[in-house]
Structure 1
Amino acid sequence: MNDQELQSLVEEISWKYFNKTFRHKAIFNRRLKTTGGRYLLSNHNIEMNKKYFEQFGKDELVGIIKHELCHYHLHLEGKGYKHRDHDFKRLLHEVGAPRYCSPLPEAVEKRKSKRVLTYICSKCKWEYKRKKRIDTNRYVCGSCRGELILIDG
C-alpha cells in the first residue's frame, strides 16, 4: 500500500463511518516507532505507521485510521478530541474504533529484554543495579566513596 491508496482508504472510512469528508492528507511516516498513527493538530494531517499494516494487515490499519479520524473530526468540530475526553470515548465506541492499537512484536521483545547493568564497589562490595550506563570515572560509591566497577551487562 502506498500513500495514494492510504489517502483513498482514509477518505472512504471517513465517509462510511462518520458521514463526513476527510479534506486533508494521510501519509505513511516510517519514523513512527511506538504508535500506530498520529493526528497532527497544526495541519490536520494524519500520519500512519506502515509497520502495523505490514505486520497485522488491513484490519488493524482500519482500526487505527478510525481512531485517528475520531481525533480529526472532533478537533475540527471544537469538541473534546483528547483521549481522556468523554466526546472522544463516545465516538470511539460508536464507530467501533480501538482505544489502543496492538503492540508491535519487536516493541514487546524490546520491553522484555531490558538489560540491567550491575556495578560493584571495589571497597565495600555494595552492588548497584542500573538500566543506564554510568560514567565510573565521574561517579563513586554512595556509602564509602570507593571506585565502581562494571561486573555484569
Structure 2
Amino acid sequence: MDIKTLQQLVEDTSLEFFGRPFRHKARFNHRLKTTGGRYLLRSHDLEFNQKQLEEHGMEAFIGIIKHELCHYHLHLTKKGYRHRDRDFKQLLKEVGGSRYCEVIPGQRRQEKVKFIYLCNNCGQRYPRKRRVDIRKFSCGKCRGKLKQKSID
C-alpha cells in the first residue's frame, strides 16, 4: 500500500465511522516496532506500522486506524483522548476499533527468567528477571518465607 492509498483509506474510514473528515496527513512510520499506530498531538497527523498490515491483514489494520482516529477526533473536540479516559473507551467501542494491536513475530524480544523463588509454606512460584532480597520480601499469598530455586 502506498501513501496515497493509506491517506484515502483513513479519510474514508473517518467519514464512514465518525461522520467527520480527516484533514491531516496519514503516513507509514517504519521505526514503529511494538505499536500499530500513533497520533501526533502537535501536528494531528497519524502514523502507522506497515508491518501490521502485512502480517495481520486489512481487517486488523482498519481496527488500528479506528483506534488512532478516536484519539484524533476526541483531541480536536477537546474530550478525553487518552487510553484511560471514559470518552475514549466509549467511542472506541462504538466504532469497533481495536484496543490492542497484534504482536508481530520477532519484533518483541523475550526477556529470560533468571531467578525463581518458591514459598516454603504454600509452594507459590515467583519467576523473576531481577534478584529479590528474601530477607525483606515474603510470599504475597500466605506471607511465608521465600527460598531461591536454581534454574535448570
Structure 2 partner of 1:28: 28
> Percent identity between the aligned chains?
55
Distance 2:2 2:31 in 1: 16
Distance 1:105 1:40 in 2: 26
| Structure 1 residue ranges without an equivalent (≥5) | 119-128, 132-153
Distance 1:27 1:105 in 2: 23
Letter aligned with residue 76 of structure 2 = L
Structure 1 partner of 2:60: 60
Structure 2 partner of 1:3: 3
Structure 1 partner of 2:105: 105
Structure 2 partner of 1:38: 38
| TM-score normalised over the length of structure 1 | 0.72
Matches within 5 A, 1:56-95: 56-95=56-95
> What's the CA shift for 1:115?
4.7
Letter aligned with residue 6 of structure 1 = L
> What's the CA shift for 1:60?
1.0
Displacement over 3 Å in runs of 4+: 115-118
Other structure's SS at 1:106 match: coil
Distance 1:130 1:18 in 2: 44
| TM-score normalised over the length of structure 2 | 0.73
| Structure 2 residue ranges without an equivalent (≥5) | 116-127, 131-152
Bigger Rg over Cα? 1
> What's the CA shift for 1:117?
7.5
Shift of the 96–130 alpha-carbon distance from structure 1 to 2, 3 Å rule, reads closer
Distance 2:96 2:113 in 1: 40
Distance 2:29 2:107 in 1: 17
The RMSD of aligned alpha carbons is: 1.8
> What's the CA shift for 1:25?
0.1
**CA deviation map 1:63-96 (0-9, x unaligned):** 0000000000000000000000000000001000
> What's the CA shift for 1:52?
0.3
Question: Which structure shows the higher helix fraction?
Answer: 1
Shift of the 130–58 alpha-carbon distance from structure 1 to 2, 3 Å rule, reads closer
Structure 1 partner of 2:15: 15
Q: How many residues align?
A: 118
